[in-house]
Amino acid sequence: QVQLVQSGAEVKKPGASVRISCRSSGYSFSSFHIHWVRQAPGHGLEWMARINPSDDTTTYAQNLQGRVIVASDTSTRTVYMELSSLRSEDTAIYYCVRSKDIVTYFDLWGRGTLVTVYS
Amino acid sequence: SYVLTQPPSVSVAPGETARITCGGNNIGRQTVHWYQQKPGQAPVVVIYYDNDRPAGIPERLSGSKSANTATLTISRVEAGDEADYFCQLWDSDTDHYVFGSGTKVTVL
């Protein structure tokens, strides 16, 4: 079955870091880019980062540079996203998303991981 | 950075036509995709490459563009079309992906 399976919900304190995983199945892992897109409660969608698992090249949203790191593990078909220096504004659902290449649409979405940041 | 502007909400009676706009500078030169998101679910692409439909998406949904506006049209609206809709494109100048703010479609 073609799917992206994400890790479970997280609760973190301000200043901490969170690491979310996204395991792919049912397709050629290295043939698609993986992105991270987040959605704050009641808000729209925000693109965060992209990785090409075939060569591990990454691109990050300018407003998150320095706080977000994305990495992939081909042996386990898993992509990880780590967001550091968490603030209350980072409370959101985080989705991992697939695209065939850089310019095309997002054709497969994970179910999302809720990250709650509060003290 | 590139900005896509959508109306917050659109209300339409069953059987009528809903038009959801997505404004952006010279968007006519860009490739636009549209996503539908129902409560508690992840978004799903409903229109890609301006006016192509994935398998399983009814022909009632269509996309179009003019110079500065992309439009998602839902004909013969049904109760099941009630959802949030987002436009999206890839900005080649920044290599970033941009989403519109989203439009909530309410079926009266």
For tokens 């436009």, name the residue: B87
Spatial contact of B21 and B7, defined as CB atoms under 8 Å apart:
yes
pLDDT of residue B31: 96
A72: pLDDT confidence band, cut at 50, 70 and 90?
very high
A74: pLDDT confidence band, cut at 50, 70 and 90?
very high
A14: pLDDT confidence band, cut at 50, 70 and 90?
very high
Residue ranges, chain B, pLDDT below 70: none
Question: In this complex, which of A61, A105, A112 lies closest to B33 when CB atoms are compared?
Answer: A105
Q: How far apart are CA B94 and CA B39, in angstroms?
A: 31
pLDDT of residue A103: 87
- For A76-116, the pLDDT digits (tens) are 999 999 999 999 999 999 999 999 988 899 999 999 999 99
Closest Cα partner for A110 from A84, A82, A78? A78
In chain B, residues with a C-beta closer than 8 Å to the C-beta of A112 are 42
In chain A, residues with a C-beta closer than 8 Å to the C-beta of B96 are 47, 59, 61-62
- For B72-97, the pLDDT digits (tens) are 999 999 999 999 999 999 999 999 99
Do the bridges between strand A106-109 and strand B18-23 make them parallel or antiparallel, or are there none, so unpaired? unpaired
C-alpha dihedral over B8, B14, B15, B18, to 10 degrees? 0
A119: pLDDT confidence band, cut at 50, 70 and 90?
confident
Across A16-32, average pLDDT = 97
In chain B, residues with a C-beta closer than 8 Å to the C-beta of A2 are none
Across A15-35, average pLDDT = 97
User: Mean pLDDT across chain A, nearest whole number?
Assistant: 97
Q: How far apart are CA A12 and CA A20, in angstroms?
A: 12
Q: How far apart are CA A86 and CA A89, in angstroms?
A: 8
Mutation target to probe the B interface, by most B beta carbons within 10 A, among A22, A33, A45, A58 is A45
Would you tell me how many other CB atoms lie within 10 Å of the CB of residue A5? 15
Mutation target to probe the B interface, by most B beta carbons within 10 A, among A33, A43, A97, A106 is A106
